[in-house]
Structure 1
Amino acid sequence: MPTHLHETLIEMFRVRPVLAAEILDGQLHVPVPEFTEARLSPSDLTDVIPTEYRADAVVTLNDRHKTVLAVVIEVQLRKDDRKLHSWPAYVATLYARLHCPVALLVLCPVQSVADWSAAPIVMGPPGSVVTPVSLGPAQVPIVTDADSARRHPELTILSALAHGTRPDPQPIFGAMLHAFDTIDLDHARLYYELVLSGLPAAAQRLLEDFMTTTGHQYRSDFAKGFFNSGKDEGRAEGRAEGRAEALLTVLAARGLAVSDEHRALIAGCADDAQLDTWLRRAVGAEKIQELGDEFAG
C-alpha cells in the first residue's frame, strides 16, 4: 500500500511534471532532448500485456506535437526484487506506445535502496538491458540559496528531507521556506508535513523550533501563518490545520469525492493522531469511507 511519503513524492510530479526533466538533466546528468512542454501522461501501462502494470507516474517531454522523451517515475522505499521484472515491462510498453526513447527514474529516500535500484537489469543475451536512473539522498543537492529555492522548489523540499539531519540544518530549513514562496498554500502544508514526518525526532524538534523562533521575514502565506501563531495553542492548531490540508490534498490527488460534511469533519479535527491515521489510510483508499467509521455516512 502506498505511504504518505510515497504519495506526496508522486504529487510533486503531478503538480509540476517538468521536475522529471530537471532531475534527469540536472542532478543525474542524463541528457534530455530539447522540449517545449512537460506533460503528465496516463500511468496505466497494460496495453497488450495480460498482467496489469501501473507505474507511479509517467511524464512526457514534447517538442511541439512530437514526444521526444517519456519518463517512467517510480518511488521505491525498500528493495523489492519483483520490480526487476516489472520495470522492464513499463519501459517496453511505453516505448511501443509512444515510439520514443524512455527513461526509468526511481526516487529512493534511502540511499541503499537507490544503489540497489540503479543496477542494470539484464534480461538476456546478447545484451537486452534496462538501466534505471536512481535519485537517492546522495544525489539530492543541498539547497541553501533563496533564489535557487524559488526556482526549484521541489528539489528544495527533497533537500530538506534528505539533509535535514545535518549538524546545522537552519540554512536548509530557511531555503525550504523560500521555496514555499512559489508553491500554493495547500501544497506547502503538504510538503512541510512530508519533511517533518520524514525527519528523526531530534531533527523534527529543530525544524519546529526554527519555524517558531526565526526572525527572518519570509514572504509566503504559509510562513506568515506559522510565524503569526505566537502561542503554543495557536501553533498546535496550525499543525492540525496543516495535517487537515494535507489530507484534503491527498484525497483530491486520488480523485476521491469529499462531501461538505466530510470536509467540515476533517477541517474541524484538532487531534493530530487522528488526522495522521486518516492521512495514512487516504493514500491507499479507493473510497473515502475507508478512512474510518466517521466517514461512513
Structure 2
Amino acid sequence: MVSAPHEAMHRIFQEYPNLFSKLSHVLGLELPPPVSAELLTVDLTENEPLERRVDTLLRIETQNDGPFLLVIEAQGKKDPGKTASWPYYVTYLNNKYRLPVLLLVICQDHATATWAARPITIGLPQWPTVTTRPLVAGPHNMPVITNVAEARKDLALATLSAITHADNPDVDAILKTMSVALRDTPESIAEPIVELIAQGLGNRPAAQQWRNLVAVDLSFYTSPLSEEIRDEGRTQGRTEGRTEGRVERGAADILLVLGARGIAIGNRAREKITACTDPELLSQWLVRAAVAATGDEVFGEEQTSADR
C-alpha cells in the first residue's frame, strides 16, 4: 500500500516541475538552465500483462542541451526488486522517447539513501553492459532549513527538505520555520505546501506538531488539512457542549424529582448536586432520588456528615 510520505516525496515535483533545477545544484549536478518542464504519463506498461509505473515522470527542456526525461522515485525502504525495475525504467523510456533519462530517488533515511545510490550493473562482472546510477536526495545531502528568509527564497526546495528530514531531531524547528515562512504567502501557493508536508510526515510524532502549527500560525488558510483541524475542533466543542448540557439537565432533574416528591434537602446537598460534573454519577443520584425517603439517601454511602 502506498504511504502518504511516499506520495509527498514525488508529488512535490508534479506540483513544482521546476524544483529539480534547484535540487540539481544542491546535489552537485551541473545542468543547463531549464526553460520548461512537462508532466508525462507514469504508465510504462507494455502489451504484455506486466504493469510497470514510475512515481513521477517529467520532460525537462533546457536552454542549451535540449530536453531530457526525469524519473522521480520515492523510496521509503530498501527494495531488492528495484535492481531490476530501475534499469528497465531508464532503458524503456530512452527507447520510447529517444531522450536522455535521469533517475532521481528521494529518501527519508540514511540507510535507504546509501542503498539507493549504489550503481546497478547488468552484464558480466568484468564488462557491465548497462549501468544505472540513480541520483539520490535524502537527509544525507539535503539542507536543513531553519532560517525563514532562506525558506521563503525557494519554498518548493524548503518543502522537499522538510519532507526528507522528517526524522531529523530538529524537525520541530524545521516545521516552525516553514509555518512562519508561509504566513505571508498567498493561499494558492501555501495550500499545496501545507498538504505535502502533512503527507510527507506520515504518522510520525512530528505530524501532530505540523497540525498544531497549521492550526495556529496558518489558521486563516482553507486548505483540506486546515479544514480537517477546524472540523475536529468543532466536533470537540459540540461534544463538550453536549456533556455540559447533559450535566445541567441531570442536576435539574434530581432537584425536580425531589421537589415533586416533597423531600427537602439542605443547602450543602443542593450545592453538591449542582456542582457535580460527572454525568454518570448524576444518573445514579437521579435513580436514587426517585425512591429515596430522605435527601441523604440520594447520595448513599458517598454522603458524609459535612454534606448533611
User: What's the secondary structure of 1:78's corresponding residue?
Assistant: coil
Distance in 1, matches of 2:121 and 2:50, equals: 21
1:176–1:53: structure 2 CA closer, same or farther, 3 Å change rule? same
- Please state if 1:139 is matched with 2:141: yes
Counterpart in the other structure of 1:159: 161
Residues 9 and 64 of structure 1, relative CA distance in 2, 3 Å threshold? same
1:64 Cα deviation after fit: 7.1
- The amino acid that maps onto 1:7 is E
Structure-1 separation of matches of 2:220 and 2:146: 17
Decide whether aligned partners of structure 1 residues 168 and 135 sit closer, same or farther in structure 2, where only a CA change above 3 A counts. Answer: closer
In 1, Cα distance between the equivalents of 2:56 and 2:210?
30
| CA offset digits 1:190-244 (Å, max 9, x no partner) | 12422553533xx456556666677xxx798469x97xx99x936979xxxxxxx
Helix, strand or coil for the counterpart of 1:84? helix
Give deviations 1:133-170, integer Å, cap 9, x for gaps.
Answer: 11121122111232331232233223333446656555
Question: Match of 1:32, as an amino acid?
Answer: L
Residue 194 of structure 1 corresponds to which residue in structure 2? 199
* 2:21 corresponds to: 21
| Partner SS state of residue 38, structure 1 | strand
Normalised by the length of structure 2, the TM-score is: 0.61
Among residues 128, 131, 135, which one is paired with 1:129 in the alignment?
131
Partner of 1:58: 57
Q: Does 1:176 align with 2:181?
A: no
Which residue of structure 1 aligns with residue 12 of structure 2?
12
Aligned position for 1:274: none
1:28, 1:139 within 8 Å by CA — same for their partners in 2?
yes
| Structure 2 residue ranges without an equivalent (≥5) | 238-308
| Distance of aligned partners of 1:204 and 1:46 in 2 relative to their CA distance in 1, 3 Å threshold | closer
Q: 1: distance between equivalents of 2:43 and 2:64?
A: 22
Structure 2 counterpart of 1:275: none
CA distance in 2, matches of 1:235, 1:31: 52
Q: What is residue 117 of structure 2 aligned with on the other side?
A: 118
Contact 1:35 1:62 in 2 (8 A): yes
**CA gap 1:147/1:123 in 2 versus in 1, 3 angstroms:** same
Q: In the superposition, relative to structure 1, how do residues 222 and 192 fare at CA in structure 2: closer, same or farther (>3 Å)?
A: farther
RMSD value, Cα: 3.6
Aligned AA for 2:17?
P
Q: Secondary structure at the match of 1:139?
A: coil
Secondary structure at 1:81 match in 2: coil
Q: 1:31/1:122 Cα in 2 relative to 1: closer, same or farther (>3 Å)?
A: same
The offset of 1:42, in angstroms, is 1.6
Structure exhibiting the larger radius of gyration computed from Cα positions:
2
- Which letter does structure 2 place at the counterpart of 1:197? G
Q: Structure 1 residues 47 and 199 mapped into 2: Cα distance closer, same or farther (>3 Å)?
A: same
Shift of 1:38: 1.4
User: How far is 1:130 from its partner?
Assistant: 0.8
Q: 1:131 to 1:6 in 2, by over 3 A?
A: same
Contact 2:45/2:51 (<8 A) preserved: yes
Asked whether the equivalents of residues 75 and 108 of structure 1 are also in contact (C-alpha less than 8 Å), the reply is: yes
Q: Cα–Cα, structure 1 residues 87 and 182, in superposed 2: closer, same or farther, change >3 Å? A: farther
Determine what percentage of the aligned residue pairs are the same residue.
27
Aligned to 1:283: none
Question: Quick one: structure 1 residues 136 and 47, their matched pair in 2 at CA, closer, same or farther if it must change by over 3 Å?
Answer: same
Q: How many residues align?
A: 228
Counterpart of 2:105 in 1: which secondary structure? Answer: strand
- Structure 1 residues 179 and 22, CA gap change in structure 2 (3 angstroms): farther
Q: How does 1:65-80 map to 2 (within 5 A)?
A: 67-80=66-79
